[in-house]
Amino acid sequence: MRRNRDGKLLELIFEEITDIECFTVGITENKFMLNKEKQKAVCLSFQNIGEYAKNISKGLKELHDEVEWAEIYGFRNIVAHEYSKVKMSQVWQMIEEDLPHLKRNLEKILRNLQNS
């Protein structure tokens, strides 16, 4: 049962990553900085990613410590409770650097869950 729940949560995170990719496809950092709508959409997706990550079982998190689960949820808290402190330059950096890495890790974890 836990495996099914974890799998669903991972799929939801993957969907949010795909949404962020769609929100930001073909735009530059400068255009992102000037577009409040895209900023808010991306931040909502990051908030959702953090919420889903928080609910993944401790066992799966321990098994896949290559994912920075605590940092993902920590950023969710900042977006949810201290939005005015969010630096959009850091958000852009996360889009460019962290999300591709997270996406690759999730693909691997999901494959492992499906094959077990």
The reply to whether 3 belongs to the active site is: no
Burial grade of 52 (CB within 10 A; 0-12, 13-18, 19 or more): buried
The reply to whether 111 belongs to the active site is: no
CA 73 – CA 50 distance, rounded (Å): 4
Q: Which two tokens stand for residue 72?
A: 């993902």
81, 101, 104, 111: the active-site residue? 81
3, 5, 64, 76: the active-site residue? 76
Percent of residues in the chain assigned helix, strand, coil, to nearest 5: 85, 0, 15
Which of these, 22, 19, 68, lies nearest to 46 by C-alpha position?
A: 19
The residues annotated with a catalytic role in the active site are 76, 81
